[in-house]
Amino acid sequence: MGWVFDIEDPRAARAAWSRIAEPGDREAGALVQSLGPTGALRWLIGDARGRDAGAVAAKHRERWRNRLEGLDPRRELHALGALGGWLLIPEDEGWPEGLNDLGAEAPFCLWVRAAEGLAPVLGQRLCPSVSVVGSRASSAYGELVTATMAGDLAGRGVTIVSGGAFGIDAAAHRAALGAGGLTLAVMAGGVDRLYPLGNERLLAAVASEGAVISELPPGAAPRRERFLARNRLIAALGQVTVVTEAAWRSGAHRTAHVAAELLRPVAAVPGPVTAAQSAGCHRLIRQGVATLVTGADEVRELMAPLGLVTLEDPVVAKGPLDGLPDSDRQVLDSLPLRRGATVTAVVVASGLATPQVMASLGRLERAGRAVQAGGLWRKARSGGGP
Amino acid sequence: MGWVFDIEDPRAARAAWSRIAEPGDREAGALVQSLGPTGALRWLIGDARGRDAGAVAAKHRERWRNRLEGLDPRRELHALGALGGWLLIPEDEGWPEGLNDLGAEAPFCLWVRAAEGLAPVLGQRLCPSVSVVGSRASSAYGELVTATMAGDLAGRGVTIVSGGAFGIDAAAHRAALGAGGLTLAVMAGGVDRLYPLGNERLLAAVASEGAVISELPPGAAPRRERFLARNRLIAALGQVTVVTEAAWRSGAHRTAHVAAELLRPVAAVPGPVTAAQSAGCHRLIRQGVATLVTGADEVRELMAPLGLVTLEDPVVAKGPLDGLPDSDRQVLDSLPLRRGATVTAVVVASGLATPQVMASLGRLERAGRAVQAGGLWRKARSGGGP
């Protein structure tokens, strides 16, 4: 076989491997990790300088060799260049480090269409990042919750990663763009085709203001298995994965499990138990895979497990007896509203000891909660403080 | 002091204690547990046969003695009898055993208004039981979820315990009655006044078909501290406590914590994160106090931690590729819909080895998923099974 490209170039060799092996091919990943992309190609094409790849790789050699014919990453790199794209490889400084957690299932390279200047620093811009995922068949509630959460996070500098699909994914990308934040869409096919077609305009905006990426070369079709494999990249790229709305059975549910296996914090937003669209979120929480979250602050808390973010309880209206010791509350509750009661009567009604009741009555009187007239005690009408 | 009733009678002595001490009075509880109700009374009134109650009790003696004047449980027992009621004491067979888990805070007795024949076997009828609690200011969603869950549980023989309040409590009692099941309302005042007045008809129905109970004697007013104390009985009477809808700050939230301290399983139903009425449920789940539940079956599972109830996953529509091995799915996804492809083309498209592809094509053809014509393979149009 003659080689039309320079297999010594790690960039070209990795681009070639992204076409030879399907996403998530563990054997190919292990091979490239052990011999390097060039070394692995040498062995595959039977180059004299090729080292032995071992028995496991040998078993899979035929299926990889089937894809050697017509292989020319220069053509695909050219197609990428025509789109203003960029190939990112693990040797680059901008490589998203989180992807390395995938081990032998890490992608060989990333085909990137991004805002100017973003691709070379993509990895740096993924810290902090949150992957927001959910079902395509979303409800108005799910879209509202997603938009609120993604917009809030993006507005605070968190990069929003999602899959570019209809429903929840689209709501997440759109909110991030709307908040002037950064967002990243991970495709299941080549970045030359913005899939699904119905989201083409949204994804074009993501590509020009954020990034659209894929581990597959231009021309690769999005296929079912590739969607499933793509989900592992979404799980690995976010420091936290949030499922904002998902049916019992959904890709988002699987992405959440992958994120949990990667030891990433996983969060899920609850919804009405009467809505099938939230069943997947409830399932993840019940399984202990996901933490229940109700808003962006609780997601941010998961990103800073060492206490960098501290949550405050929501502000709720204070009750009229807040801040009173228990015995004062009990005495106040025992006081009549109209006709006054003797201290003895209050002692009997409250069930407390006489000295305690007298001390409480003094405090309540000073606080304007109780009034006394002629030795008879009753509640102050306003019930207010001083 | 002269005694108008027989303090040797444990029933009368316990009835007396339920008036002398406020609900949840730990010192009184410990005293009665140590000397017995009669012995504790002897000590309190300074009877010559009274044993020493110790230093702790001595400190509280004055406040209990303040309530001795005019004490006559016969009067209260008479009032109860006029309502067709029944006094239940721990020595009775029908005493709800769960209350003993409260230790020194267990009630001295229960004043019961119940359906005929129920009071003497009340404890037995509380196995199985679920306490259903929530906010008074409930939403339509919360009431629907409560009614569905309580009705389903009651219809399967589970006694529904609640507090008789507006909102969630009322929905729970009403659904239990509607399902022909048993329900129990725990009052914060005497059972002679069905509180709140707006629920009088509902509570009268509960008293005639189920039971309305209190640890306080007839005539006792429902007061704030007594509501809080009452909640511990609700928590102790249910084998499981479910919060179906509760605001961030609510009595139900507190009841859930008490149930958890009693080592009872606690469950909470999620709702929209946009609704303040569900914030307390989400808080309990986030705190790890409550398990998220979406329906009655998941509550029943909590009642049988040893696996007596097994949950089945909900029935969801099967996808077209369900049950196929991964490689078959991959091959099927790689097949064209219209013009056929050669085996070699399918091998390249799928990324699988030739023998694997050929085996898959054979299986898919037999299953009616793939068709072959002139050595060219394509997807079967129907996509259906054999």
Nearest CA in chain A to B224: A333
Asked if the Cβ–Cβ distance from A225 to B333 is below 8 Å, we say yes
Over range B9-13, report the average pLDDT.
Answer: 95
> Which residues, 6 or more positions from A188, have their beta carbon under 8 angstroms from its beta carbon?
A163, A195, A214, A216, A222, A223, A226, A227, A229, A230
Asked if the Cβ–Cβ distance from B270 to A270 is below 8 Å, we say yes
Alpha-carbon distance of B19 to B172, in angstroms, equals 30
The pLDDT score that the predictor gives to residue B385 is 37
Alpha-carbon distance of A168 to A133, in angstroms, equals 6
The pLDDT score that the predictor gives to residue A49 is 87
Alpha-carbon distance of A368 to A329, in angstroms, equals 13
CA B176 from chain center: how many Å?
A: 13
pLDDT class of A59 with cuts at 50, 70, 90: very high
The pLDDT score that the predictor gives to residue B386 is 33
Distances (CA, A) of B304 to A288, B96, B265, B288: 19, 19, 10, 20
pLDDT class of A68 with cuts at 50, 70, 90: very high
Nearest CA in chain A to B28: A351
Tell me what the pLDDT averaged over chain B comes to.
92
Nearest CA in chain B to A71: B348
Q: Are A26 and A105 in contact (CB under 8 A)?
A: yes
The pLDDT score that the predictor gives to residue A39 is 96
Give A-chain residues touching B333 at CB under 8 angstroms. 223-225
Lowest mean pLDDT among A112-121, A313-322, B25-34, B188-197: A313-322
Q: What is the pLDDT of residues A227-268, one digit of tens each?
A: 999 999 999 999 999 999 999 999 999 999 999 999 999 999
Asked whether residue B42 carries a pLDDT value surpassing 90, the answer given is: yes
pLDDT class of A307 with cuts at 50, 70, 90: very low
> Among partner residues B269, B270, B352, which is closest to A63 by beta-carbon distance?
B352
The alpha carbon of residue A354 is apart from the nearest alpha carbon of chain B, in Å, by 7
Nearest CA in chain A to B144: A274
The pLDDT score that the predictor gives to residue A353 is 87
Residue by residue, what is the 3-state secondary structure of chain B?
CCCCCCCCCHHHHHHHHHHHCCCCCHHHHHHHHHHHHHHHHHHHHCCCCCCCCCHHHHHHHHHHHCCCCCCCHHHHHHHHHHCCCEEECCCCCCCCHHHHHHHHHCCCCEEEEECCCCHHHHHHHCCCEEEEEECCCCCHHHHHHHHHHHHHHHHCCCEEEECCCCCHHHHHHHHHHHCCCCEEEECCCCCCCCCCHHHHHHHHHHHHHCEEEECCCCCCCCCHHHHHHHHHHHHHHCCEEEEEECCCCCHHHHHHHHHHHCCCCEEECCCCCCCHHHHHHHHHHHCCCCEECCCHHHHHHHHCCCCCCCCCCCCCCCCCCCCCCHHHHHHHHHCCCCCCECHHHHHHHHCCCHHHHHHHHHHHHHCCCEEEECCEEEECCCCCCC
Give B-chain residues touching A230 at CB under 8 angstroms. none
Domains of chain B: 10-71 (no CATH), 97-303 (3.40.50.450), 326-379 (1.10.10.10)
Nearest CA in chain A to B60: A353
pLDDT class of A80 with cuts at 50, 70, 90: very high
The alpha carbon of residue B336 is apart from the nearest alpha carbon of chain A, in Å, by 12
Asked if the Cβ–Cβ distance from B354 to A63 is below 8 Å, we say yes
Asked whether residue B382 carries a pLDDT value surpassing 80, the answer given is: no
> Among partner residues A21, A248, A272, which is closest to B271 by beta-carbon distance?
A272
Alpha-carbon distance of B202 to B185, in angstroms, equals 10
| Both tokens assigned to A204 | 């074009």
Cis amide linkage into residue A120, ω under 30° from 0? no
**CA quadruple B364, B367, B370, B375: dihedral positive or negative?**
positive
The pLDDT score that the predictor gives to residue A213 is 98
Over range A298-303, report the average pLDDT.
Answer: 95
Q: Are B235 and B264 in contact (CB under 8 A)?
A: yes
> Among partner residues A274, A314, A333, which is closest to B248 by beta-carbon distance?
A314
> Among partner residues B282, B350, B352, which is closest to A270 by beta-carbon distance?
B282
> Among partner residues B62, B269, B292, which is closest to A286 by beta-carbon distance?
B292
Asked if the Cβ–Cβ distance from B354 to A326 is below 8 Å, we say no
Closest CA to B15 of B150, B227, B215: B215
Cβ-based neighbour number of residue A72 at 10 Å: 15
Alpha-carbon distance of A371 to A44, in angstroms, equals 94
Residue identified by tokens 């140590």 is B34
pLDDT class of B158 with cuts at 50, 70, 90: very high
pLDDT class of A383 with cuts at 50, 70, 90: very low
Nearest CA in chain A to B23: A351
Asked if the Cβ–Cβ distance from A274 to B314 is below 8 Å, we say no
- Residue type at B179? A
Asked if the Cβ–Cβ distance from A66 to B286 is below 8 Å, we say no
Say how many CA atoms lie within 13 Å of A179 toward its Cβ.
Answer: 24
Residue identified by tokens 């010192």 is B27
| Both tokens assigned to B125 | 């009828």
Nearest CA in chain B to A290: B286
Higher pLDDT, B58 or B381: B58
> Which of B152, B273, B274 would best serve as a mutation to test chain A binding (most A beta carbons within 10 A)?
B273
* pTM exceeding the 0.90 threshold for the entire prediction: no
Give B-chain residues touching A330 at CB under 8 angstroms. 22, 225
The alpha carbon of residue A372 is apart from the nearest alpha carbon of chain B, in Å, by 21
Distances (CA, A) of A83 to A95, A115, A162: 20, 12, 21
The pLDDT score that the predictor gives to residue B178 is 98
Angle between helices B326-334 and B354-366 (to 10 degrees): 90
The alpha carbon of residue B296 is apart from the nearest alpha carbon of chain A, in Å, by 11
The pLDDT score that the predictor gives to residue B311 is 56
Asked if the Cβ–Cβ distance from B273 to A282 is below 8 Å, we say no
pLDDT class of B228 with cuts at 50, 70, 90: very high
Asked if the Cβ–Cβ distance from A354 to B63 is below 8 Å, we say yes
Establish, for the pair of chains A and B, how many residue pairs have beta carbons separated by less than 8 Å: 129
> Which residues, 6 or more positions from B265, have their beta carbon under 8 angstroms from its beta carbon?
B239, B240, B241, B291, B302, B303, B305
Give A-chain residues touching B330 at CB under 8 angstroms. 22, 225
Asked if the Cβ–Cβ distance from B248 to A316 is below 8 Å, we say yes
The alpha carbon of residue A121 is apart from the nearest alpha carbon of chain B, in Å, by 32
Nearest CA in chain B to A346: B66
The pLDDT score that the predictor gives to residue A321 is 62
Alpha-carbon distance of A39 to A305, in angstroms, equals 41
Asked whether residue B269 carries a pLDDT value surpassing 70, the answer given is: yes
Give B-chain residues touching A293 at CB under 8 angstroms. 286
pLDDT class of B383 with cuts at 50, 70, 90: very low
Asked whether residue A109 carries a pLDDT value surpassing 90, the answer given is: yes
Biggest alpha carbon–alpha carbon distance for chain A = 112
Alpha-carbon distance of B166 to B179, in angstroms, equals 19
> Among partner residues B223, B249, B329, which is closest to A225 by beta-carbon distance?
B329
Q: What is the pLDDT of residues B349-380, one digit of tens each?
A: 888 888 889 889 999 988 888 998 888 999 98
The pLDDT score that the predictor gives to residue A140 is 97
pLDDT class of A106 with cuts at 50, 70, 90: very high
Q: What is the pLDDT of residues A191-223, one digit of tens each?
A: 999 999 999 999 999 999 999 999 999 999 999
> Among partner residues B144, B294, B329, which is closest to A282 by beta-carbon distance?
B294
| Both tokens assigned to B225 | 């501290």
Q: Are B183 and B172 in contact (CB under 8 A)?
A: yes
> Which residues, 6 or more positions from A133, have their beta carbon under 8 angstroms from its beta carbon?
A162, A163, A168, A169, A172, A231, A234, A241, A242, A243, A244, A246, A251, A252, A255, A256
Angle, CA of B313, B316 and B321, to the nearest 5°: 115
The alpha carbon of residue A92 is apart from the nearest alpha carbon of chain B, in Å, by 28
The pLDDT score that the predictor gives to residue A125 is 96
Alpha-carbon distance of B133 to B193, in angstroms, equals 21
Q: Are B199 and B226 in contact (CB under 8 A)?
A: no
Nearest CA in chain B to A21: B351
> Among partner residues A225, A333, A348, which is closest to B67 by beta-carbon distance?
A348
Distances (CA, A) of A282 to A275, A276, A294, B218: 11, 10, 13, 45
Q: What is the pLDDT of residues B288-347, one digit of tens each?
A: 999 999 999 999 999 976 544 555 555 555 555 666 778 888 888 889 888 889 988 888
> Which residues, 6 or more positions from A82, have their beta carbon under 8 angstroms from its beta carbon?
none
| Phi and psi torsions of B372, nearest 5° | -125, 140
| Both tokens assigned to B205 | 């129905």
> Which residues, 6 or more positions from A244, have their beta carbon under 8 angstroms from its beta carbon?
A132, A133, A134, A142, A145, A146, A149, A168, A172, A268, A269, A281
Q: What is the ipTM of this complex?
A: 0.84
Tell me what the pLDDT averaged over chain A comes to.
92
The pLDDT score that the predictor gives to residue A320 is 57
Conformation bin of residue A307: beta by default, left when phi > 0, alpha when psi is -120 to 50: left
The alpha carbon of residue B199 is apart from the nearest alpha carbon of chain A, in Å, by 22
> Which residues, 6 or more positions from B310, have their beta carbon under 8 angstroms from its beta carbon?
B301
Cβ-based neighbour number of residue A280 at 10 Å: 25
Q: What is the pLDDT of residues A142-182, one digit of tens each?
A: 999 999 999 999 999 999 999 999 999 999 999 999 999 99
β A110-114/A370-373 pair status: unpaired
The alpha carbon of residue B82 is apart from the nearest alpha carbon of chain A, in Å, by 25
Asked if the Cβ–Cβ distance from B62 to A295 is below 8 Å, we say no
> Among partner residues A67, A144, A347, which is closest to B351 by beta-carbon distance?
A67
Over range B121-145, report the average pLDDT.
Answer: 97
**What would the DSSP string read from start to end of A231-300?**
HHHHHHH-SEEEEEE--SS-HHHHHHHHHHHTT--EEE----TT-GGGHHHHHHHHTTSSEE--SHHHHH
Closest CA to B15 of B66, B88, B64, B83: B88
Give A-chain residues touching B298 at CB under 8 angstroms. 286
CA B111 from chain center: how many Å?
A: 22
SS3 A340: coil
> Which of A136, A273, A334 would best serve as a mutation to test chain B binding (most B beta carbons within 10 A)?
A273
Instruction: Walk across the sheet containing A291-292 and list its strands.
Output: A86-88, A110-114, A211-214, A183-186, A159-162, A129-134, A240-245, A266-268, A291-292
> Which of B19, B215, B225 would best serve as a mutation to test chain A binding (most A beta carbons within 10 A)?
B225
Instruction: Walk across the sheet containing B266-268 and list its strands.
Output: B86-88, B110-114, B211-214, B183-186, B159-162, B129-134, B240-245, B266-268, B291-292
Asked if the Cβ–Cβ distance from B353 to A63 is below 8 Å, we say yes
